[in-house]
Amino acid sequence: MFAAVGALILTVRVASYGVVKGSRAFTLIGLLASVSVGIAMAFRARDSIQTAESAFGRALADAERTRDELADVNEDLARANAQIQAVNVAYADLLNLTDEQTHGRCAS
């Protein structure tokens, strides 16, 4: 990037030198070189933008895939939690029933 800016500055200076000295050749060479460097910089910038957009698209797709996987895992955990709670209730009911049938002798 700095080299391209440096080249652009140099070519503009050559064109300016041509104007100051009245040399049409230096002016045209400087202007043509400036345009060439400017066009090259524009193409390079476009390529950089496309690369960044592509990387962003991949990152977004990865994030969406990860979010979907997380949602699936959360659903599995919610089901497992419901099953654990059901087992806890069933054990509590069983212990209460046992306690009632033994008239509290199991609690001691």
Tokens of 63: 């994030």
Give the Cα separation of 60 and 54 in Å (integer).
10
In the prediction, which pLDDT does 16 show? 87
The residue type at 28: L
Tokens of 106: 């199991």
The string of pLDDT tens digits covering residues 53-75 is: 999 999 999 999 999 999 999 99
Which regions in the chain score pLDDT beneath 70? 106-108
In the prediction, which pLDDT does 107 show? 58
pTM above 0.85, yes or no: no
Give the Cα separation of 27 and 72 in Å (integer).
67
